[in-house]
Amino acid sequence: MTAAFPTRRLRRLRATPALRRLAAEHALVPAQLVLPVFVKEGITAAQPIASMPGVSQHPLEALAGVVDEAVAAGIGGIMLFGVPATRDAVGSGAVDPDGILNRAITLARDAAAGRLTVQADLCLDEFTDHGHCGVLAGDGSVDNDATVDVYAQMGVAQARAGAHILGLSGMMDGQVAAVRAALDAAGFAHVVILAYSAKYASAFYGPFRDAVESTLQGDRRTYQMSPANAREGIEEALSDIDEGADVVMVKPAGPYLDILARVADVSSVPVWAYQVSGEYALIETAAAAGLIDRERAIGESLLGIRRAGADAILTYWALEAAGWLQDGKDLA
Ligand code: PBG
């Protein structure tokens, strides 16, 4: 006699690897991954970043090699960050066509030759001596509108250098509209704006400060969002779309999957996520201590971000994960 219970056997589709693969609701392809790349002025060999095991700062001369690796891995792009030799109060190196980031953009663009997208961080924190994402007013606060003016100049400099996509990560009000207008006026109507829309004031950026050698005076809570807020993240994304953002982003990714899912539900443009330096360091250090299975944890973290609604992911594991995908390995 056959038991009438259970009538619903959800385990059926989990029985073999082939069934599980066929029944998978979400997957990633290499083209949906973007690698952040740090380019440092004045070095001649790659310098490992202590807080991000496996990640290095690269000399300008090595950038073409990094681009070739990224192309071979089939990833969708690289996101460039500049580490300048000198900084000042207003971040002059950001708008200088000879600044390290602008030079890196041109070099990467030439090396890429259309094979992947070259993206650039549009923010002042790597270029200011106080480490804030903008210029300061007399009282020491970050001056929104004065900063947005510099972002507009920086955006045009990056477009002129050859960036395909500008990553506006400064969280100033009105930055998307101002950079869009400046780009259009300067003949760069085709340059894409990726707005870091819901960007939270996060401890998970800690290792990144090492990577760009930025020492911050104070914190970023007057412009980056409070981790307590969700509705506000949706509003940030919607207003960036209104201002002309081509892509919106949620950052960090892992601790903000709820925000990612909600933004993905209402966005009329692609939604990307940034798996940040601290998310990277957590998994790397736990794996190095033998506490978790490194590859499975990486794969699961990426799949989780995808499942929550990211169309593409910025991740320091982009090359490695793309390699697994090319080999036909499952992420989780
Ligand atoms: C701003 C910027 C930051 C990151 C990306 N763009 C730092 C910050 O806002 O404090 C962090 C990325 C990471 O932690 O991996 N230039």
Residue 197 lies in a domain: yes
Task: In whole angstroms, give the CA distance from residue 242 to residue 107.
Answer: 33
For residue 65, the enclosing domain spans 30-326
291: burial class by Cβ within 10 Å (0-12, 13-18, 19+)?
Answer: exposed
Work out the number of other CB atoms within 10 angstroms of the CB of residue 149.
13
Each residue of 188-245: pLDDT tens digit? 999 999 999 999 999 999 999 989 998 888 899 999 999 999 999 999 999 999 999 9
Task: In whole angstroms, give the CA distance from residue 96 to residue 102.
Answer: 8
Mean pLDDT of the chain: 97
Residue 7 lies in a domain: no
Residue 248 lies in a domain: yes
Active-site residue flag, 251: yes
The answer to whether the CB of 172 is under 6 A from ligand 1 is no
Give the burial string for 25-57 (b: 16+ CB within 10 Å, else e): eeebebebbbbbbbbbbebeebeebebbeebbb
User: Are the beta carbons of 164 and 117 closer than 8 angstroms?
Assistant: yes
Give 287-332 as a 3 state SS string.
Answer: HHCCCCCHHHHHHHHHHHHHHHCCCEEECCCHHHHHHHHHCCCCCC
Which atom belonging to ligand 1 lies closest to the Cα atom of 275?
15
Is 220 annotated for ligand binding?
yes
When pLDDT is averaged across residues 152-180 and rounded to a whole number, the result is 98
Residue 9 lies in a domain: no
Spell out the residues 6+ positions from residue 242 whose beta carbon is closer than 8 angstroms to its own. none
Residue 3 lies in a domain: no
| Candidates 251, 260, 312, 331; catalytic one | 251
The pLDDT, as a whole number, for residue 225 is 98
Residue 230 lies in a domain: yes
Active-site residue flag, 329: no
Model pTM greater than 0.95? yes
Each residue of 275-326: pLDDT tens digit? 999 999 999 999 999 999 999 999 999 999 999 999 999 999 999 999 999 9
Residue 179 lies in a domain: yes
In terms of DSSP bridges, do strands 192-199 and 165-168 run parallel, antiparallel, or are they unpaired? parallel
pLDDT-derived band at 57, boundaries 50, 70, 90: very high
- The domain total for the chain is 1
pLDDT-derived band at 1, boundaries 50, 70, 90: low
Residue 246 lies in a domain: yes
Is 301 annotated for ligand binding?
no
The answer to whether the CB of 125 is under 6 A from ligand 1 is yes
When pLDDT is averaged across residues 121-135 and rounded to a whole number, the result is 97
**Residue to mutate (ligand 1; options 158, 205, 249; most atoms within 8 A of CB):** 205
Task: In whole angstroms, give the CA distance from residue 228 to residue 259.
Answer: 11
The pLDDT, as a whole number, for residue 230 is 98
The answer to whether the CB of 276 is under 6 A from ligand 1 is yes
User: Are the beta carbons of 331 and 299 closer than 8 angstroms?
Assistant: yes
Q: In this prediction, what percent of the chain has a pLDDT beyond 70?
A: 99
The pLDDT, as a whole number, for residue 3 is 66
Report the separation in Å between the CA atom of 277 and the middle of ligand 1, taken as the mean of its atom positions: 8
The answer to whether the CB of 256 is under 6 A from ligand 1 is no
Task: In whole angstroms, give the CA distance from residue 304 to residue 299.
Answer: 8
pLDDT-derived band at 5, boundaries 50, 70, 90: confident
CATH number at residue 289: 3.20.20.70
The pLDDT, as a whole number, for residue 215 is 87
Return the closest-CA partner of residue 88 out of 143, 140, 138, 126.
126
The pLDDT, as a whole number, for residue 2 is 64
